Amino acid sequence: MNCSNVGGMRVLDAAGAAYSSGPGHTPRNILGKSVKHPDLGDFVWIAYSFFFFIEPIVRHNRAYWIGFAGFYVIFAAIYAGMVFTRKRWQHYALLAAWGVLGALYFPQHNEASGTFIFVAAFVPFVTDSLVISVSTIALASSAIVAEGLLLHINPWSWVFCPVISLIVGGTNLFTSQRARANAKLEMAHEEIEQLAKMAERERIARDLHDVLGHTLSVIVLKSELAGRLFSRDPQRAAAEIADVEMISRKALGEVREAIRGYRAEGLAAEIKRAQSTLDAAGVSLVCEQGAPELNPAVESVVSLVVREAVTNIVRHAQASQCEMTFSTQNGHTSLVIVDDGRGGARADGNGIRGMRERVEALGGLFTVEGSKGTRLTILVPSEGHAEKSLAEKTHA
């Protein structure tokens, strides 16, 4: 059996995707598992070394079996080291040991060249450096060819292994780079979300300070003054109390207005906020039509749908572009939000369920499709149609 029979090793691209772990995280080994709690599943990929046993089985030679046993024990020990160690320099040393082991035993055991395939398969998960990964894969492939030529080994024993090393190494290199990019993108999305929450808290604090700070101070001062005047000048005290009532009612109205602003500042403002949020996440927004004129109840629901959809795009979609389209026809308004992300719509989460319930409460329709990107569509009645739907649901 030659090395062409181990093409299945490309499934190693699933191993080690979570190799790197940041400060404060549980240390991870090359297979992405906790160093403190590794399990037997970490050793699943060693099954691809089965082809090492073909030649000893065919030869039926005890001395050959003894030599092979020594080779395989060292090979397995290096593999265990890759699983249990977590420092990068240790992994570099173990990969080098694998290469040396394969080079030394290759002349006695032709299938030992498969050790270089393991080197090419694991190096993309050991280092973040594209140069080191590519160089190591190329070196492993070249070493097999060079040794085969120099030692005049049967070409069938080494011709296919460099090809397999390049395929497996290249596949794992692509997978590891993509996994790291996705991890960075996820971290960026989380950071954007945290910054947005902090900015919103600061805005609320500023608004409440502006709305209530001066007003409450005036109320306190006038209340104290009325208390002092109550026995000496009841008429003026009553006037001060009347002022306190008037100022309090005004403050109550301002607070209600502010809260109403937090809940829904209007569809146009929500689209503007969506533009800012998506820009910060590196997603371009295309919205050629302006916000349509809607009654307050419908506008509030559509605004909340836009907000939740944008949040999902930023957090989950991994998209680069989002298109938002409004249209009005036959007393109904439709909104379609499409992104070019990864799609794959699943069971309704809390956000999707909340949007669906709000839209259906207006007598509208709500659909989500995720075959290519994500396409969210709502159809809600406009003006009197929405009021009629709400009234019917209330009476029901």
> What pLDDT does residue 40 have?
64
Neighbouring CB atoms inside 10 A of 290's CB total 10
Cβ neighbours for 82, distance < 8 A, ≥ 6 positions apart: 29, 30, 31, 91, 94, 122
Separation of alpha carbons 285 and 186, rounded Å? 20
Cβ neighbours for 331, distance < 8 A, ≥ 6 positions apart: 381, 382, 383, 384, 385
Give residue 370's identity as a one-letter amino acid code.
G
Structure tokens at 43: 């050793």
> What pLDDT does residue 258 have?
63
Asked if residue 382 lies in contact with residue 332, where contact means CB atoms within 8 angstroms, the answer is yes
State pLDDT tens for residues 139-155. 888 888 888 788 777 77
> What pLDDT does residue 325 have?
92
> What pLDDT does residue 377 have?
93
Taking 50 as the pLDDT cut, the residues of the chain under it are 1-36, 384-396
* Domains of the chain, each with CATH number or no CATH: 3-186 (no CATH), 265-396 (3.30.565.10)
Asked if residue 168 lies in contact with residue 117, where contact means CB atoms within 8 angstroms, the answer is yes
